[in-house]
Chain A
Amino acid sequence: MTATDAPTLDTPDAQAGLVPARRRFTPPSSALGLLGLVGFAVLLEVLPRTGIVSRDYFPPLSAMVTAMVDEVQTAGFWDAMTETLLGWGIGLGISLVAGIALGLLLGSVEVLRRYTASTIEFLRPVPSVALIPLAVLLFGFQLQSTLLLVIYASFWQVLIQVLYGVQDVDPVARETARSYQLGPVARLRYLIWPTALPYVMTGVRLAAAVALILAVTAGLVGVGRGLGAEIAVAQSSGAVPLVYGLVITTGLLGVVINLLARALERRTLSWHSSMRADIGG
């Protein structure tokens, strides 16, 4: 902040972990969070039991868990899980490779970037679910249908972030690289890629979340198999506790994917001074 002043310790409250003396006891956030989760679980159990909400629509948590415990012992569940994870993983992988390659190419070649900008701006907001009927016609109920939806949705997340990242290359560094006559490969390796990496990781995180949404949705609307299809079957056969159990399962899957993506981001960027907010995305 200050231009002429060396950093000082003028404000003790700016020092790590120091708070004004009046606030004595604040429990650590993880304990409160756990309390919140437990409270939420109790609510899920008690509300239906007291009859405040109908058990037909909203079975107690214990019933959901029981249904889920039965479900995980069936082979069908694990097939569905595998199918969803395959659609998610393969689709995400293709999006990453394509998005990063195309992003680096378009980002580093000024002419290409300018001439493709409007097309990207038009295609990006096209909702991937618009492709559902097309996917069904082309691939029926095969994995390719799911992949089409997953890739279309997650590809743009990666591409856009990579484009932002390449644009963020410091002008001075660019000039320096030019004056030392670095070749295209060296420029990519030592200049563009390190700058773009934090953005790429943001893209990976966003794309991983979107890919899961579409992998589950595909099954839900009858395009693919997987967990979404399990939910749809459970719903149409009136197995309400199982519907809840499966939805909770997809939620937990989402949490795990999110945590993994964040861990990957932190590991990759541990050298980086500032973890960027994804406001620019």
Chain B
Amino acid sequence: MSDPTATPTGRTALLDVAKVQKTYTGQGRTVEAVRDLTFSVGNGELVCIVGPSGAGKTTLLKVIAGLLEPTSGTVTLDGTQVTGPPPSMAVVFQEYGRSLFPWMTVEQNVELPLKQKKMAKERRAELVRDALEAVGLAEAHSAYPWQLSGGMQQRVAIARAVAYQPQVLLMDEPFAAVDAQTRADLEDLIRSLWHKLGVTILFVTHDIDESVYLGERVLVLSSSPTVIMEDLTIDLPDERNQLDTRSSPRFAELRHHVYEQIQLAKHRRGGEPAPAGATGASAATTPA
């Protein structure tokens, strides 16, 4: 479907982030979370944003989602400037336990945003059924979220986003809180949904492996105040799987490269020093 060697300029831009800056002020001190970010995401692309802890990733994502107003700069979606949450955007948060309505069943959770779109009842039912089937939860429609495991709860949140039929799907470290095996399954689910639906995905993570495995492009962020260190095209084959892709030499090279960039970012920003003797091979997962 998509050309594995697609470059940022190869597609029409759908989402434009221009000179975005975000500053927080509180009792007597000012924190500049995001300094100056400019990038665009092409229609149908899967772009990962990776950066060290405290890099203002969540802030950036909330600004793009229209949940936070940038201090300066603009976000443009499909030619229209984002001033509030746009109707063609869906967000999946990290805290699945807090992003699903505990007083609603799985089905009701997925259906609620569709009701807000004033969709006909039959159409809603169809979308909900398809979305739950797509994430492998067709059986669990009448359960409450808290009756499900963490991974299944996050599937519900993904189903809700899918049923909403967004142009752009924003994901904020969605798998940071699930165990490793579930995480691998969910990563493959995202890849397959992306292939099937042709939706544009912006995926925020702090996991370098995950960003390389999932993305067509990886944007490497510096420590706060945040700028973009590198815009890297991931030239891995389009058909990926956990075993072969992750053990391919090219994957190791790319991961190594991103890891170095992030270490550099830490040094350059004068934040925490990089772990001594880091080679990129072993410590490349969670910078915790």
Touch between A and B in complex, CB under 8 Å? yes
B31 cross-chain contacts in A, Cβ below 8 A: 12, 15, 18
User: A8–B53 contact, CB under 8 A?
Assistant: yes
Which A15-61 residues sit within 8 Å CB-CB of chain B?
15-22
Does A237 belong to the interface (CB within 8 Å)? no
Which A147-185 residues sit within 8 Å CB-CB of chain B?
none
CA distance A4 to B224 in the complex (A): 23
Least distance between B61 CB and chain A CB atoms (Å): 10
Does A2 belong to the interface (CB within 8 Å)? yes
A12 cross-chain contacts in B, Cβ below 8 A: 24, 31, 33, 56, 59, 224
B224 cross-chain contacts in A, Cβ below 8 A: 12
A9 cross-chain contacts in B, Cβ below 8 A: 53-54
Least distance between A119 CB and chain B CB atoms (Å): 34
Least distance between A7 CB and chain B CB atoms (Å): 9
User: A1–B27 contact, CB under 8 A?
Assistant: no
State which of B75-83, B90-98, B134-142, B253-261 sits at the interface with chain A.
Answer: B90-98
CA distance A19 to B28 in the complex (A): 12
Least distance between A213 CB and chain B CB atoms (Å): 33
Q: In this complex, what residue of A is CB-closest to B51? A: A10
Does A3 belong to the interface (CB within 8 Å)? yes
B53 cross-chain contacts in A, Cβ below 8 A: 6, 8-10
CA distance A18 to B31 in the complex (A): 9
Interface size class of A (residues with CB under 8 A): 20 to 34
Known: A18-B24, A21-B23. A10 touches B178 (CB 8 A): no
Which B71-123 residues sit within 8 Å CB-CB of chain A?
71, 94-95, 97-98
User: B24–A10 contact, CB under 8 A?
Assistant: no
Least distance between B101 CB and chain A CB atoms (Å): 17
Does B243 belong to the interface (CB within 8 Å)? no
Does A11 belong to the interface (CB within 8 Å)? yes
User: A8–B206 contact, CB under 8 A?
Assistant: yes
Q: In this complex, what residue of A is CB-closest to B288? A: A6
Does B58 belong to the interface (CB within 8 Å)? yes
CA distance A1 to B54 in the complex (A): 17
A21 cross-chain contacts in B, Cβ below 8 A: 23-25, 30, 71
User: B177–A10 contact, CB under 8 A?
Assistant: no
Least distance between B152 CB and chain A CB atoms (Å): 14
State the majority secondary structure of interface residues on A.
loop
CA distance A11 to B63 in the complex (A): 12
Does A13 belong to the interface (CB within 8 Å)? yes
CA distance A5 to B173 in the complex (A): 10
User: A20–B57 contact, CB under 8 A?
Assistant: no
Of A1, A6, A19, the most chain B CB neighbours within 10 A belong to A1
CA distance A3 to B176 in the complex (A): 8
Of B55, B58, B180, B224, the most chain A CB neighbours within 10 A belong to B58
A18 cross-chain contacts in B, Cβ below 8 A: 24-26, 31
Which A187-243 residues sit within 8 Å CB-CB of chain B?
none
Which B162-208 residues sit within 8 Å CB-CB of chain A?
173, 176-180, 206
B94 cross-chain contacts in A, Cβ below 8 A: 2
CA distance A6 to B71 in the complex (A): 29
Which B27-76 residues sit within 8 Å CB-CB of chain A?
27, 30-31, 33, 53-59, 68-69, 71
B24 cross-chain contacts in A, Cβ below 8 A: 12-13, 18-21
User: A10–B57 contact, CB under 8 A?
Assistant: yes
Least distance between B166 CB and chain A CB atoms (Å): 23
Least distance between B177 CB and chain A CB atoms (Å): 4
User: A1–B98 contact, CB under 8 A?
Assistant: yes
CA distance A134 to B205 in the complex (A): 70
Does B286 belong to the interface (CB within 8 Å)? yes
B280 cross-chain contacts in A, Cβ below 8 A: none
Which A70-120 residues sit within 8 Å CB-CB of chain B?
none
Does B8 belong to the interface (CB within 8 Å)? no
Known: A8-B54, A12-B24. A2 touches B59 (CB 8 A): no
Known: A6-B286, A12-B31, A19-B24. A1 touches B56 (CB 8 A): no
User: A5–B54 contact, CB under 8 A?
Assistant: no
Least distance between B248 CB and chain A CB atoms (Å): 25
CA distance A11 to B60 in the complex (A): 10
Among candidates A1, A5, A11, residue contacting B97 with C-beta atoms closer than 8 Å: A1
Q: In this complex, what residue of B is CB-closest to A20? A: B24
B33 cross-chain contacts in A, Cβ below 8 A: 12
CA distance A22 to B206 in the complex (A): 29
CA distance A156 to B93 in the complex (A): 44
Least distance between B184 CB and chain A CB atoms (Å): 13
CA distance A22 to B68 in the complex (A): 11
User: A10–B71 contact, CB under 8 A?
Assistant: no
Contacts A/B (CB < 8 Å), 14 sampled: A1-B98, A2-B95, A2-B177, A3-B178, A4-B178, A5-B176, A6-B288, A8-B53, A8-B206, A10-B55, A15-B26, A20-B24, A20-B69, A21-B24
Q: Which 10 A-B pairs have the closest CB atoms?
A: A6-B288, A18-B26, A8-B53, A2-B177, A17-B26, A9-B54, A5-B176, A21-B25, A12-B33, A18-B24
